Amino acid sequence: MLNAAAEFTVNDRYYRVPARPVVVICIDGGADEYLTAAMCRGRVPHITAMSARGYRGLVRAALPTFTNVNNASICTGLPPSKTGICGNFFIDPDTGREVMTNSTRYLRAPTILAAAAESGRRVAFVTAKDKLRAFLSSGLRGIAFSTEKADEARLPTHGIEDVESMVDESKPSIYSGAASVFVLRAGAAMIAGGKADFLFLSLTDYLQHKFSPEEEPVVEFYEQLDHEIGRMLELGAVVGITADHGMNGKHDGAGRPQVLYLETELVARFGDGIRVVCPITDPYVVHHGALGGAATVYLPSGLDRAAVIAWIADLDGVSEVYPRQLAARKLELDPEHVGDIYVLATRDVVLGRTPADHDLSGLDRPLRSHGSRYEEMVPMVVSEPLSAEYRMKALGDPRNFDIFDFVCNGTDVVTGTAGQE
């Protein structure tokens, strides 16, 4: 029954899974410019052919444009307001302490992956970073492992073992492009070996934080990704590619980081007790120093919120400012995970807390990061032609977390390959 058509409904969406291997790839930090730079150099022939035969366009990511927020949305087909994953940290109002949210405990919705497995598909979820695997594989009866801990995968806990033998490669460092290539190699190997036919493969943006789109190391990285994607296409897979967020330079003309230390500025102006949370913060900060394009501000009681908002709005480097409820509504966030004020930065500026909170010593290249609205538009590539209905949908306001919908429901491949079942 491998590759048999299947159907299921999860989070109020119906999915009709084609009778072919289905692969969704999230290129972490995969701004459209990276794809374009590799494409115009002739280095991604399979993705180029996919784009011409199927579809390539831009879709809107969830805000703030961070990895866990968007992976949670992609895995569920829901905006952050409904996944409960609105950033990596918020302040618990009861304890006043920062709480890390990229945990299964905060994920409020079942995943498409778990539902696909229940419907009878053989699901595999592979990530570069283990943390992402851990918090999104909840409820999944299938394969789930990471490059980072590929050697620790065991049948009872991960649905697979001997991953390094299967991929024919020792697990690379998590701080490498190879960590992502390993994910796709594992995906292709599992399809080839009949281990999986419904895959979500989620990469890491280590190289995109370091290199701008036309630089050779990242062009070569895309070439390697393209090679593995070509293998999956050859194995008959329907492939959808998107990104969790884009990536932009956050530096001045001399290459120096442009950081607005929002807590420092606010305390200097309005006094102690104001706290800024940078929701990009996670255990893997060496390449961006926990500096991103979004921040949320917690005010002590008694401070005039409207006055603080007006003051922040006028700061250079700030693009948008919202009070909590409006942020929740306009940015699709859960108000309980948002401070009193939500702030988005301009294209080339990142928001920090205080200089002491951010270690920039690991930066060996001009800072590139994400989090703001300027990293919101990301590519979506689908290997098959879209139906008329989904073409119209693609021209409106499609989201990156519609990718499973597009790949499963947006093409006519079920009918087209029914004879192959």
**What residues make contact with a second copy under the rule CB under 8 A?**
32-33, 36-37, 39-42, 48, 51-52, 55-58, 60, 212-214, 249, 251-255, 313-314, 319-320, 326, 329-330, 346-348, 366, 368, 373-374, 377, 389, 392-393, 395-397
Nearer to a second copy, 103 or 212 (CB): 212
Write down the least CB distance from residue 239 to a second copy, Å: 15
Nearer to a second copy, 227 or 393 (CB): 393
Burial (CB count <10 Å: 0-12, 13-18, 19+), residue 40: exposed
Nearer to a second copy, 58 or 267 (CB): 58
Nearer to a second copy, 160 or 309 (CB): 309
C-alpha distance from residue 341 to each of 87, 93, 195, 288, 305 (Å): 14, 15, 47, 23, 8
Write down the least CB distance from residue 390 to a second copy, Å: 9
Beta-bridged to residue 58, according to DSSP, are: 379
Concatenating the DSSP letter of every residue in 142-155 gives SEEEESTTGGG--H
Nearer to a second copy, 176 or 387 (CB): 387
Nearer to a second copy, 156 or 253 (CB): 253
- Residue 399 phi, psi (nearest 5): -115, 160
Nearer to a second copy, 320 or 334 (CB): 320
Which residues, at least 6 apart from 136, have a Cβ–Cβ distance to it below 8 Å? 71, 72, 75, 104, 107, 111, 113, 125, 127
Nearer to a second copy, 1 or 52 (CB): 52
Query: How many CA atoms are closer than 13 Å to the CA of 390, on its beta-carbon side?
Result: 24
Nearer to a second copy, 13 or 60 (CB): 60
Helix runs in 278-396, H state only = 305-313, 324-330, 388-394
Write down the least CB distance from residue 36 to a second copy, Å: 6
Nearer to a second copy, 155 or 392 (CB): 392
Write down the least CB distance from residue 310 to a second copy, Å: 8
Write down the least CB distance from residue 304 to a second copy, Å: 13
Strands 238-242 and 22-26: parallel
Write down the least CB distance from residue 316 to a second copy, Å: 10
- Distance from C-alpha of 47 to C-alpha of 33, rounded to nearest angstrom: 14
Nearer to a second copy, 128 or 295 (CB): 295
Write down the least CB distance from residue 120 to a second copy, Å: 30
Write down the least CB distance from residue 146 to a second copy, Å: 31
Contact status, residue 109 vs residue 83, Cβ threshold 8 Å: yes
Report DSSP state, residue 292.
B
Name which of 346, 343, 323, 321 is nearest 335 in CA terms: 323
- Residue 391 phi, psi (nearest 5): -65, -45
Burial (CB count <10 Å: 0-12, 13-18, 19+), residue 311: middle
Provide the token pair at 318. Answer: 């700030």
C-alpha distance from residue 144 to each of 123, 222, 247, 363 (Å): 8, 24, 27, 32
Beta-bridged to residue 26, according to DSSP, are: 202, 242
Task: Identify the three-state secondary structure at position 358.
Answer: coil
Which residues, at least 6 apart from 146, have a Cβ–Cβ distance to it below 8 Å? 126, 127, 128, 129, 130, 132, 133
- Distance from C-alpha of 233 to C-alpha of 240, rounded to nearest angstrom: 11
Write down the least CB distance from residue 258 to a second copy, Å: 8
Write down the least CB distance from residue 40 to a second copy, Å: 4
Write down the least CB distance from residue 379 to a second copy, Å: 9
